[in-house]
Amino acid sequence: MVNYREQALDRVFAALADPTRRALVAQLEQKQSLTVSELARPFPVSLPAIMKHLDVLSDAGLITRSKSGRTVNCRLTAATMKSAMDWLHRYERFWSEGLARLSALLEEDESCPPTQVLLQPPSQASPSSAASTPRRPRSKPRGPTRK
């Protein structure tokens, strides 16, 4: 059971990690039901690519599809999105506390050095060495190392 829930979270977060899929979900937010062709129309990629994305969203429990004649209608379903939300809620105090601590710090004596707050700007998107010390030089190329 726990494993199943974990796998469901895997799929929901993975499904939402792609900008095309989030854009598909956003369309379905605007309109209750859309056909596959209507969903595909704004995107520059091929129809089978969109169909693959819809497969991923369906596997994640984020949409349902129903066929009517030759068209397939897609609708949002939200149960698994709610479970992702619940998971994120566990960390709400980390930004709430950060904001609260910021407020408290502003009221303290200015001679008192501020403690580090949790809310921090995100690191730059790059292969990172996010340790506060300067990045050390890369080690020398090694050539084939596999035995």
Partner DNA sequence: TCGATAGTTAACCATTAGGTTAAGTGTAGC
Partner DNA sequence: GCTACACTTAACCTAATGGTTAACTATCGA
| Contact with its own copies (CB under 8 A) among 45, 88, 100, 102 | 88
What is the rounded distance in angstroms from the CA atom of residue 27 to the CA atom of residue 37? Answer: 12
Report which of 2, 35, 40, 37 is spatially closest to residue 21, judged by C-alpha positions.
40
For the CB of residue 110, give the shortest distance to its own copies in the complex, in Å.
Answer: 24
Residues between 58 and 117 that touch DNA (CB under 7 A): 65, 67-72
Contact string (CB under 8 A) for its own copies, positions 108-127, x = contact: ----------xxxxxx-xxx
| Contact with DNA (CB under 7 A) among 5, 6, 7, 14 | 14
Query: Which one of its own copies, DNA, none interacts with residue 69, CB within 5 to 8 A by kind?
Result: DNA
- Give the CA distances from residue 110 to residues 99, 101, 115, 116, in Å, rounded to whole numbers and listed in that order: 18, 15, 12, 15
> For residue 15, what is the enclosing H or E element?
helix 2-16
